[in-house]
């Protein structure tokens, strides 16, 4: 039976790879939208990659700029080209999967910031992931366990639970995984990493009170995938449990990881948001688009910024 399952997974992978090469990449990179003093900027780079700007710092979460993950090709170009990023202070990595931890990207980010400023960024990873990044040129690699926090570049970073797994390869059994809440200048942003729906959303909301929640909506079909990924409707359930003000969708449209149509996740998400009266609080950003959140004393439901051509 185990042999049959392995053959089935291999056939599915071959089909996903073939389909990823069937059409050309789409999308055009942009410049990050401008933000003002005290504002939070959330720029979607594609898949689960984000540029966060808050408290005068620049943070990358799960940056993947590669055109291919070994043999699986991305469907849409990265939202902001590497040379148009600001100097990066902190890089957060949620887990070791190749669509979240891309070593060539990380090496390039560390090198570019070092050339720009004379210093390299600090990387923060779940415990057990440090060996994958400690030779890539970061100034420091910090490890966290679940619910553990660290202060880096003036920002408070907490590793949160997730319902997923963290292996880089099938034989890995020791690697941690999770999401993050990043706090600075009154802003609190939650990036879930990869996760299925679980009771932890409610606990994260109760403990850390994020304002903005970056939650995955893709790779949910066949239904067995939902043991480690949220469907669009489950992602919205998680957002409600968190008690956040704004949800930003992620983990869709870039890599063909599930069998659902590539365009389906955001359509299903917004349909359910309309049904539940949450449409004004849910954002589906295009690659390179920036959501600007006003200073904490103001309105956190600001519209996405216009991108600078």
CATH number belonging to the domain at 2-305, selected among 3.60.15.10, 3.40.50.720, 2.60.120.380, 3.40.710.10: 3.60.15.10
| Torsion angle of C-alpha atoms 133, 136, 142, 143, degrees rounded to 10 | 0
Domain ranges across the chain:
2-305
CB 269 within 8 Å of CB 282: yes
pLDDT recorded at residue 171: 76
Q: Is 60 helix (H, G, I), strand (E, B) or coil?
A: strand
pLDDT of residue 211: 98
Cβ–Cβ under 8 Å, residues 56 and 155: no
| Cα 85 from Cα 110, distance rounded (Å) | 12
Write phi, then psi, for 16 (nearest 5 degrees): -65, -40
H or E segment at 133? none
What pLDDT is attached to residue 292?
Answer: 98
Alpha-carbon distance of 64 to 224, in angstroms, equals: 26
State the pLDDT at residue 16: 52
In this predicted structure, what is the pLDDT of residue 17? 52
Distance CA 125, CA 151 (A): 13
Q: What is the pLDDT of residue 68?
A: 85
Q: Which residues of the chain have pLDDT under 50?
A: 1-2, 4-10, 13, 298-309
């Amino acid at each position: 039976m185990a042999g049959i399952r392995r053959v089935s997974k291999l056939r599915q992978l071959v089909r996903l790879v073939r389909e990823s090469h069937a059409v050309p990449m789409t999308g055009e990179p942009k410049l990050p939208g401008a933000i003002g003093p005290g504002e939070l900027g959330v720029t979607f780079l594609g898949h689960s990659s984000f540029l966060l700007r808050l408290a005068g710092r620049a943070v990358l979460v799960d940056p993947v700029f590669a055109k291919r993950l070994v043999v699986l090709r991305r469907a849409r170009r990265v939202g902001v080209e590497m040379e148009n990023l600001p100097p990066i202070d902190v890089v957060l990595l949620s887990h070791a999967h190749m669509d979240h931890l891309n070593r060539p990207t990380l090496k390039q980010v560390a090198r570019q910031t070092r050339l720009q400023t004379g210093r390299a960024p600090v990387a923060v990873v779940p415990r057990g992931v440090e060996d994958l990044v400690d030779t890539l040129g970061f100034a420091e690699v910090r490890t966290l366990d679940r619910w553990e926090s660290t202060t880096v570049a003036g920002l408070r970073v907490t590793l949160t639970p997730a319902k997923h797994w963290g292996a880089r390869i099938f034989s890995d059994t020791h690697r941690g995984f999770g999401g993050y809440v990043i706090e600075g200048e009154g802003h609190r942003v939650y990036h879930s990493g990869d996760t299925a729906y679980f009771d932890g959303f409610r606990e994260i909301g109760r403990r850390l009170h994020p304002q903005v929640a970056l939650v995955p909506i893709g790779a949910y079909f066949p239904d067995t995938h939902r043991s480690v990924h949220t469907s669009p409707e489950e992602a919205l359930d998680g957002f409600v449990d968190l008690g956040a003000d704004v949800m930003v969708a992620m983990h869709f449209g870039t890599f063909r990881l599930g069998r659902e149509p590539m365009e389906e996740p955001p359509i299903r998400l917004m349909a359910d948001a309309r049904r539940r009266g949450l449409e004004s609080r849910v954002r589906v950003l295009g690659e390179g688009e920036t959501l600007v959140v006003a200073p904490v004393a103001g309105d956190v439901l600001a519209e996405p910024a216009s991108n600078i051509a």
